[in-house]
Amino acid sequence: MRDASRYHRLLWSATVLVALAACTAQPTPPPPAATPAQEASKASVHKEAFGSTADGAAVELYTLTNASGMEVRAMTYGGIIVSLRVPDRTGALGDVVLGYDSLDGYLKSSPYFGAIIGRYGNRIARGRFKLDGKEYKLAINNNPNALHGGRKGFDKVVWKAESFQDQRGVGVVFTYTSADGEEGYPGKLDAKVTYTLADDNSLRFEYQAVTDKPTPVNLTQHTYFNLAGDGSGDILAQELMMKASRFTPVDKTLIPTGELKSVEGTPFDFRTPTAIGARIEAKDEQITFGLGYDHNWVLDREPGGGMQLAARVHDPASGRVMEVTTTEPGLQFYSGNFLDGTLTGKGGHVYQHRAGLCLETQHYPDSPNKPDFPSTVLKPGEEYRSHTVYAFSVQKP
Ligand code: GLA
């Protein structure tokens, strides 16, 4: 009897436990919601080998594709943007940057096509500057000045790279350590440049650097754009707007005189959209010195810093528009004046005079010798940060 009742109690407890378990059991949970990046399943990053440099360093090519099909290919040699395919007003993708089909072209001869520029973008007069009482001498690679970081600037080194895909989009982080004394610059500089392609057809560049000795730093990007498409002729019919009431006039070696000159009444006034070719042959000393446009504009910035509109380019033929926003105070507009038909690029395209344009966000040229210009000196313990976005869209005729 006692055994029977124990048996019933056990049976009862077991039944209760099973019932309780049944009550508390949850239906199989649904899979976690996809992040926006995962939902944009068409976005992707792909890495492949892209040859090697003369000293045998392997170079890799990253292909970034966003959800709407815009595609950027960038390689570890110089962080060079090899191609950039964006839609025109009919939705057709076209490559809007100049360059070569293979690494060899870049190794042989390239006027900085698509590259990261550093340690100092643009010119330093006579390759000399003083910092904390000491004079530094750089290589003279643009007689009589130093240009774009020296003989082997950041455009000619192989960067380490790591790709990512997250809420921001798809991208690559390039890193490079420039040794103390490299190209004559003081201090070991750890540089990091992040390229991000977002689903809204914007391409973001984030530059960061730290140093162990005071050094001038001015990083930028030297992509040659032609919104009508690579190899489609010159950029003279394309319209440019630059949010700048002043520019930095230069001497005949393209070193700023130090003056911040009003653009009013000059061929340098792009405050309202104007065809690049409209005044490029004007009888103007500055145009003569630059062989066209090759100058730094002083951006009109609202107080408070941050990302602000710098420029807008519109190609009436394709409808493509590119908007440049930046944290930088200056913008070098170079109208491809040194292109002269001697370089044959992608798909056999011969790069004639003014076949592409550069809009290089930056601090002003020769700042290390111009105490009145915003300083470019980075000190130990500080972090250099600079952001620029090139956003692509289309405009109806
Ligand atoms: C910059 C310079 C130009 C020229 C190009 C590359 O834009 O200001 O003078 O050197 O790079 O050819």
Tens-level pLDDT at each residue, the chain (397 residues): 344 445 455 444 544 444 444 434 445 555 444 455 455 458 999 999 999 999 999 999 999 999 999 999 999 999 999 999 999 999 999 999 999 999 999 999 999 999 999 999 999 999 999 999 999 999 999 999 999 999 999 999 999 999 999 999 999 999 999 999 999 999 999 999 999 999 999 999 999 999 999 999 999 999 999 999 999 999 999 999 999 999 999 999 999 999 999 999 999 999 999 999 999 999 999 999 999 999 999 999 999 889 999 999 999 999 999 999 999 999 999 999 999 999 999 999 999 999 999 999 999 999 999 999 999 999 999 999 999 999 999 998 8
Which atom of ligand 1 is found nearest the CA of 112? 6
User: Is there a cis peptide before residue 119, judged by omega within 30 degrees of 0?
Assistant: yes
- Identify which of 98, 112, 154 to mutate to test ligand 1's pocket (most ligand atoms within 8 A of the CB): 112
Backbone angles phi, psi at 396, to 5 degrees: -70, 155
β pairing state of 71-75 and 58-65: antiparallel
Rounded to two decimals, the pTM is 0.90
Residue whose tokens read 């520019």? 247
Q: Which CATH class is domain 38-394?
A: mainly beta
- Identify which of 113, 124, 148 to mutate to test ligand 1's pocket (most ligand atoms within 8 A of the CB): 148
Q: Residue 397 class from Cβ within 10 Å (0-12 exposed, 13-18 middle, 19+ buried)?
A: exposed
The amino acid present at 18, given as its one-letter code, is V
CA of 115 to the centre of ligand 1 (A): 12
Instruction: Measure the CA–CA gap between 144 and 153, rounded to whole angstroms.
Output: 17
Instruction: Give the number of other CB atoms < 10 A from CB of residue 291.
Output: 14
Residue positions annotated with a catalytic role = 222, 360
Nearest Cα neighbor of 356 from 310, 297, 292 is 292
Nearest Cα neighbor of 364 from 297, 287, 264 is 297
